[in-house]
Amino acid sequence: MRVYNFAAGPAILPLPVLLRAQSELVEYGGHGMSVMEMTHRSSMYKSIIEGAEASLRRLMDIPDEYAVLFLQGGATMQFSAVPMNLMHTGKADYIVSGNFAGKAAQEGAKYGEARVVKTSKDRNFAYIPRTVRADFDPSADYLHIATNNTIYGTSLRTELPDCGNLPLVADMSSNILSEPYDINRFGLVYAGAQKNIGPAGVTVVIVRKDLAEEGPIAEYVPTMLRYDTQVKNESMYNTPPTYAIYLAGLVFEELEKTGGVAAAKERNEAKAKLLYDVLDASSFYRPVADKADRSIMNVTFTTPDPDTDARFVKEAAAKGLVNLKGHRAAGGIRASIYNAMTIEGASALAEFMREFEQKA
């Protein structure tokens, strides 16, 4: 029996994708072998990776001026790869709206001046900092943001920062494909797979080709971390995470079948509303994120005390609602309701929240 899995990542995957992968595990497409056994240089695997890229391009309306890469190392590796490749003048601007945005800035500081323009650390990252164009250094090489903050449940859902001509670099790990973004507004987008794309092991990088082709100015940058290397070799400078890319492709196909990113947004907003309606009607629960900046991917809240938080998590798990414990940096409770979470799962959690409050 499958549970409702609210883990922040690795996270829930669409059941049709898992069932299809199961049926194709031992033998794929009449080739007499599993995808896991295919050489990445073969024509049979080439069709898989090319199909995954084409599907993602359709879903996100990615123009030809952008390269789509399937890389290793997780989004965390991109904290270093971005400044290594793009920090040509030795300066970049960062908005620190959460834990991982802060880590990205820390890595950037190893390669140049990573200026924190604005941060919401003063209130434990409960909001998204507001900016105006004058806040940014026009001579910086890029502005780095996180569009969703998994730990604290905040999200940049409306207007992107007005940073003038600075290339906008975004960590979209926890809300990519959950709602539409205009990719033309970005110089580079990266996202770890294990939330809305597929299993852990592959990272998607969408980079404007002119930025990639400039290449890093430092000779020490490892060949594997150079965007120009990866673009030239179509993500196959070395052996890519072949099976994870195959599964990502299945997720992309499933999302296309179910209406694409616009339809996913409607479903995600409906799921989030079920939970936020309970929080807003309650004097027992305390939402973590400011209402104006709430994520539709990660719903974070607390009960009156840590012991009750722990009891909530334990009793929810007994009812098949699992992985609701908040991140160790924030505590409390976190329900991650990525694309693959069903409306039935969100409804079940909302009902449990009401029942738990009544008993408390």
Whole-angstrom CA distances from 284 to 38, 177, 359 are 54, 33, 11
Q: What is the pLDDT of residues 203-237, one digit of tens each?
A: 999 999 999 999 998 889 999 999 999 999 999 99
Check residue 344 and give its pLDDT.
Answer: 98
Check residue 330 and give its pLDDT.
Answer: 85
Q: What is the pLDDT of residues 273-286, one digit of tens each?
A: 999 999 999 999 99
Check residue 328 and give its pLDDT.
Answer: 85
Instruction: Please count the other Cβ atoms lying within 10 Å of the Cβ belonging to residue 164.
Output: 12
Global pTM value? 0.97
Mean pLDDT score of the chain, rounded to an integer?
97
Task: Give the N- to C-terminal CA distance of the chain in Å, as an integer.
Answer: 29
Nearest Cα to 201, choosing from 16, 9, 66, 8?
A: 9
Task: Please give the CATH number for the structural domain made up of 16-257.
Answer: 3.40.640.10
Task: Please give the CATH number for the structural domain made up of 4-13+260-359.
Answer: 3.90.1150.10
The yes-or-no verdict on residue 158 having pLDDT over 80 is no
**Domain locations along the chain:** 4-13+260-359, 16-257
Classify 323 in phi/psi space as left (phi over 0), alpha (psi -120 to 50) or beta: left
Instruction: Please count the other Cβ atoms lying within 10 Å of the Cβ belonging to residue 218.
Output: 12
Residue 268 exposure: Cα atoms within 13 Å on the Cβ side: 30
The yes-or-no verdict on residue 159 having pLDDT over 90 is no
pLDDT band at 331 (very low <50, low <70, confident <90, very high): confident
Kindly state the DSSP code that residue 225 receives in the 8-state scheme. Answer: G
Q: Which residues pair with 188 in a beta bridge?
A: 169, 207
Q: What is the average per-residue pLDDT within 128-146?
A: 97
